[in-house]
Amino acid sequence: MIIAQPLTAGAFAPFGDVMDTAGDPDRLINAGLCGRWHDRARLDFGDGRAGISLFDAEPRALPYSCDLLERHPDGSQAFIPMSLNPFLVIVAPDDGGEPGQPQAFVTAPGQAINLHRGTWHGVLTPLHAPGLFAVIDRIGDGANLQEVRVTPFTVHPFSG
C-alpha cells in the first residue's frame, strides 16, 4: 500500500520537474501585466524533436491499483493540465533496469510535471473529469517506451 503525498519540487526532484506559479515570477512581462515563471523544466528529446499533443484521459479513483510502470528512454515527458483538477503521479527509481519502490503524489491545482528522460512512471492518471492535458514529449524514430509489469500495489489518498 502506498499513500499519495502532496507534490513538491523537492520530493519530485529525483524524477522530474514540478512547474507551478508558486512564489514570485522570474520576470514581469507584457507591460507588467503578466508574470513569467521562466524555463522551469529540463526538456530532453534526444535525437528526436519536441512535440505537443493533447490527451483526454479517463479519470481514475483513489484507492488506485497499479500493476504497470513505463519509461521513455529517449526523451522527457511533460504533463500540463488544461484544468485545475489535481492528478495522480506515480514514479519509481531505477533499480538495475527495473522499477524500484514506487512513490505516489497528488498535484495541487495548477501544478504541471515534467518527467525526466528514463524516469519510471505510471501512465497519465487524472482524478477528475475533464482529464485534459497538453503533453510535451519526443517525436522521433523508435518506440521510446519500455513497459514493465510490477507486483500490483494500491495508492491511497493522503489523509493529511
Contact residues: ligand UGC, CB under 6 A? 70, 77, 121, 123-124
Position closest to Ni ion via CB? 77
Cell of 87: 492528478
Q: How many beta carbons lie within 10 A of that of residue 15, not counting itself?
A: 21
Smallest distance from ligand UGC to CB 147, Å: 9
CB nearer to ligand UGC: give 29 or 125. Answer: 125
First-last CA distance in the chain: 16
Smallest distance from Ni ion to CB 133, Å: 11
CB nearer to ligand UGC: give 4 or 78. Answer: 78
Smallest distance from ligand UGC to CB 109, Å: 20
Smallest distance from Ni ion to CB 11, Å: 19
CB nearer to ligand UGC: give 21 or 53. Answer: 53
Give which of ligand UGC, Ni ion, none residue 119 binds (C-beta under 5 to 8 Å, depending on kind): none
Among 86, 97, 98, residue whose Cα is nearest residue 18 = 86
CB nearer to ligand UGC: give 57 or 108. Answer: 57
Cell of 152: 500490483
CB 87 within 8 A of CB 4: no
Handedness of CA 76, 82, 86, 87 (dihedral sign): negative
Counting beta carbons within 10 angstroms of the beta carbon of residue 71, is it exposed (0 to 12), middle (13 to 18) or buried (19 or more)?
buried
Restricting to residues 72-101, which ones interact with Ni ion according to CB under 5 A?
A: 77
Interface ranges with Ni ion (CB under 5 A): 77
